[in-house]
Amino acid sequence: MPESRQGLVVKNYSGFYYVKDQEGVIYTCKPRGKLKTQVLSGDKVKFTLLEDQQGVLEDVLPRRNQLERPRIANVDMVLIVMAYDKPAPNVMLLDRLLLLAYYNQIRPCIILNKADLPKSEKARGIDYYPQAGFNFITASARTGWGMDAIARVIKDKIAVMAGPSGAGKSSMLAKLTGDGSIKTQTVSSKIGRGRHTTRHVELYSLPGGGAIADTPGFSVLDVPPMKNQELSWYYPDFTEHRESCQFRDCVHKNENVCGVKQAVAAGAISASRYENYLILLEEVMEKERCY
């Protein structure tokens, strides 16, 4: 009777799945022919041992969730990486990524990288997020500042990274894993915009526990399908203010008695966060019209 084990799929490469067991040993597995499920990185699987750290992938355990971009299963957390400068933080992209995280029930943690650089003029809007109670870590992949705090939030979780190209996602990953083979941008571009160095998806293990996937930077993302009245449910910083709205299905736009608009006027919600909300609301309504 061959020995049966459980492990985590960390990479999928030309028909082989690399499965890590509890002891951290990686086995190269081929799926059993009758296995119908498509196996993803992040999947917890059962496999039987062959010789030489090879195995046969027998079964995929039930998934908690599944992301399409990057294609990865059982994601607990998303690290949204922005930089002090080069490139300056993009709060519109940040708000989009926060929406996607809350919509998919994945915990976000905002990382403000390149703390060794002077803060860009355009970075002011970012101060709202720690004040509003979002998970927020300032860091520098260059000096190593903040890496321990990041390792602590990822411990025993599966995390993905997201954020604009050039923010330092791969650099941070290299620092966190101690893996010098991770590719980063070699020439920092003068205009401060990146060029998408990262192209593939792989789950890297952290020495202190947990795993993290590098993903290419991106700047355009579609809003998820929903009713426009739903959008603000995915804004945890709006929650207490929504209680003062006159109508339960308030969209916080043209209504007269609206707790969210009052909070914006009083400065409790930042103007840019609210303006971005209105832009995303338009996009949600646009998408609703297409059904």
Residues in the site for Zn ion, rule: CB under 5 A?
245, 250, 252, 258, 260
Contacts of residue 11, defined as CB under 8 A and 6 or more positions apart, other chains included, come to 17, 18, 41, 202, 203
Select 170 or 276, whichever has its Cβ closest to Mg ion. 170
- List the structure tokens of 93: 């992209």
Q: Smallest distance from the beta carbon of 188 to Mg ion, in angstroms? A: 13
Instruction: Build a one-symbol-per-residue string for 164-203: x at contacts with ligand GTP by CB under 6 A, - elsewhere.
Output: -xxxxxxx------------xx--x-----x-xxx-----
Query: Which one among 35, 49, 50, 117 touches ligand GTP, defined by CB under 6 A?
Result: 117
List of long-range contacts for 177-183, beta carbons under 8 Å, 24+ apart: 177/204, 177/205, 177/206, 177/207, 177/212, 178/207, 179/204, 182/214
Residue with tokens 């030489």: 52
Contact string (CB under 5 A) for Mg ion, positions 154-173, x = contact: ---------------xx---
Quote the least distance from Cβ 161 to Mg ion, whole Å: 8
> Which of residues 45 and 126 has its CB atom nearest to ligand GTP in the complex?
126
Q: Is 7 exposed, middle or buried (0-12, 13-18, 19+ CB in 10 A)?
A: buried
Region binding ligand GTP by CB under 6 A among candidate stretches 58-66, 119-127, 136-144, 151-159 = 136-144
Residue number, 125 or 168, with CB nearest to ligand GTP: 168
Q: What is the DSSP string of 69-82?
A: TTEEES--EEEEEE
Phi, psi of 285 (to 5 degrees): -70, -40
Cis peptide before 70 (omega within 30 of 0): yes
The binding site for Mg ion (CB under 5 A) comprises: 169-170, 197-198
The binding site for ligand GTP (CB under 6 A) comprises: 113-114, 116-117, 140-142, 165-171, 184-185, 188, 194, 196-198, 216-217
